[in-house]
Amino acid sequence: MEKPHKRLDVWKLAMELVTEVYKIAKFLPREENYNLISQMKRAAISIPSNIAEGAARNTKKEFINFLHISQGSLSELDTQLEIVKHLGYLSENDLCGIITIMERIDKMLTGLIKFQKSPYPSRLTPHGKRS
């Protein structure tokens, strides 16, 4: 099924981020399974999920709201990775790749929000309808 969010590069990159979070989680202590690891996975999953949900909505305003929620989840994940570093579970070097992906996603979300807020009525919404 071809859904509108699957055409968005930011959604594709966010899906890669989820995979990276799951890989990193394997290196964390087992005692963090129901705390930090669970929270990290939920935050990561929330990013592409909210992009997808917003893209399926009928208005730009709703789509923008879900993009902001994705940015919030991205910030939540960033904080959790900082905690991982502070606890000494992984180093800055270990997290370099995932941090780069997160920075790209943040820029892409910001750009998409600005694009959706643009005043041009001929712009298409993610599901192909004119706004």
Q: What is the pLDDT of residues 83-126, one digit of tens each?
A: 999 999 999 999 999 999 999 999 999 999 999 998 865 445 55
43 CB burial (10 A radius; 0-12, 13-18, 19+): buried
Question: For 7-117, which CATH superfamily applies?
Answer: 23S rRNA-intervening sequence (1.20.1440.60)
**For residue 118, what pLDDT is reported?**
87
**Where in the chain are the domains?**
7-117
Task: Report the amino acid identity of residue 58.
Answer: N
Inform me whether the pLDDT recorded for 130 exceeds 90: no
- Torsion angle of C-alpha atoms 6, 102, 111, 48, degrees rounded to 10: 30
Mean pLDDT of 1-29: 94
Q: At 100, list the tokens.
A: 């780069």
Mean pLDDT of 64-78: 98
Name the average pLDDT for the chain: 91
Strand partners, 130: 124
Inform me whether the pLDDT recorded for 63 exceeds 50: yes
Q: What share of the chain is helix, strand, coil (3-state, %, to 5)?
A: 75, 0, 25
Task: Report the amino acid identity of residue 46.
Answer: S
